[in-house]
Structure 1
Amino acid sequence: MVLNFFDQFLSPTLLGVPLILLALTLPWTIFPQPSSRWLNNRLLTLQNWFTNRFTQQIFLPLNQPGHKWALILTSLMLFLITLNMLGLLPYTFTPTTQLSLNMALAVPLWLATVIIGMRNQPTHALGHLLPEGTPTLLIPILIIIETISLFIRPLALGVRLTANLTAGHLLIQLIATAAFVLLPLMPTVALLTATLLILLTLLEVAVAMIQAYVFVLLLSLYLQENV
């Protein structure tokens, strides 16, 4: 039987019911809820510290009107980082490897930043399409280029997250398959391959966190241009 390495990215189903809905609701059930005690436990204290530090880091360069997005962007960061980390566990499915899901997150949020800029400060928002001091002959070309780059932003957001996670999962599966095949033939090489697999897994943990941070960071930069 020939295995298809891309089967791991198929949306799992049980009795015709897509399990991606279960995977999307799982992150919200594992976070500890705030308690009514005077002092929180260690896990809740660590969670609050991480949330506060991330919010301060993201919204430090933003103007005051952009701080209204603190709740949605912080929730999106926790949602993405949890989905990415859970996808590294055995017998799990990573919804963020689906381009459709990432585009469903990227397009509405990007469009909201553009609409806010057009509604609140249309002159400033349209001014990004034409840099100051542009020669007259280059004005039509630059407007077309900047407009295309504006509409490519959500595609870049979704593709970046999908490609990084997909490539990492494929590498892990390829190296794990190689280590399993080499174990009875060349145990020393298989041991070295398994060591490489452990190091790659640690790298993928870092990539899972960094890609969630980059996704939200780029959205905050788009928001900064329009508030």
Structure 2
Amino acid sequence: MALGLFDQFASPVRWGVPLVVLALAFPITTLPLYTARWVCNRLSMVQNWFIARFTHQVFTPVSHPGHKWALILSSLMLYLTSLNTLGLLPYTFTPTTQLSVNLALAFPLWLATVIIGLRNQPTQSLGHLLPEGTPTPLIPILIIIETISLLIRPVALSVRLTANLTAGHLLIHLISMAVAVLLPLMPLVAIPTSVLLLLLMLLEIAVAVIQAYVFVLLLSLYLQENV
């Protein structure tokens, strides 16, 4: 039972080709293409409004040098949102439930923020490892703790996104199995369970968007510390 339950998170393979590669590339096909027309269609207008609101919300606290990252983080937000929401469709695979995929997205961007900080303001970046006014006997311990907390940031980003999506998918899978079992046996119990499943699906859509936003927001906060 446990193996069958977690098989949905295994990367499918067809003809020796891992389908996670196609799943990672599929969101690009859902985005509207560039057009030379003066008036955009409704989908493009909604997309442009969403990107403008998101960029304003995330980069308001970030200083001006960090605004160069607007295109990267906005693209990452759209990409993660597409991956998370498309993975809720039946018979699909969600790449962001894989820790390796999330770590591959988080680690290079986190490392880039650290390198920018060491290059532009090395004194302040290294100063974050030791709070001001620390007693002398605690200096080595605090440096070790702050270094570990700095190095664990990309892992925390990846685990947060993986755990939230995995938990939601497991709940949906369990409740849908309960509905399938109860429907022929106890229809009166299966109906409210189906309503609960619908509400959980709506909650998972919100979680998919919110987790993508939190992922990018934390990256922007790491960027703010180093610019």
**TM-score normalised by structure 2 residue count:** 0.97
Opposite residue 179 of structure 1, the aligned amino acid is V
Q: What SS does the aligned partner of 1:38 have?
A: coil
1:45-73 CA-partner distances (Å, limit 9, x unpaired) = 11111011111111111111111111111
Is 1:104 matched up with 2:104? Answer: yes
Q: Distance in 2 between matches of 1:87 and 1:95?
A: 8
Q: Distance in 2 between matches of 1:47 and 1:89?
A: 21
Q: What SS does the aligned partner of 1:33 have?
A: coil
Q: Distance in 1 between matches of 2:110 and 2:182?
A: 47
Partner of 1:170: 170
CA RMSD, Structure 1 to Structure 2 (Å): 1.2
Q: Unaligned stretches of 5+ in structure 2?
A: none
Matches within 5 A, 1:3-22: 4-22=4-22
Partner of 2:61: 61
Q: What SS does the aligned partner of 2:103 have?
A: helix
Partner of 1:184: 184
**Structure 1 residues 2 and 59: CA distance shift in structure 2, 3 A:** closer
Runs of 4+ in 1 over 4 A off after TM superposition: none
Question: Percent of pairs identical after alignment?
Answer: 74
1:88 Cα offset (Å): 0.3
Partner of 2:88: 88
1:155 Cα offset (Å): 0.5
Q: Unaligned stretches of 5+ in structure 1?
A: none
Partner of 1:202: 202
Aligned residues: 227
Opposite residue 163 of structure 1, the aligned amino acid is A
Q: What SS does the aligned partner of 1:27 have?
A: helix
Partner of 1:78: 78
Q: Distance in 2 between matches of 1:62 and 1:39?
A: 32
1:3 Cα offset (Å): 6.5
Q: Distance in 1 between matches of 2:135 and 2:166?
A: 43
Partner of 1:146: 146
Q: Distance in 2 between matches of 1:64 and 1:13?
A: 45
Q: What SS does the aligned partner of 1:89 have?
A: coil
1:34 Cα offset (Å): 2.3
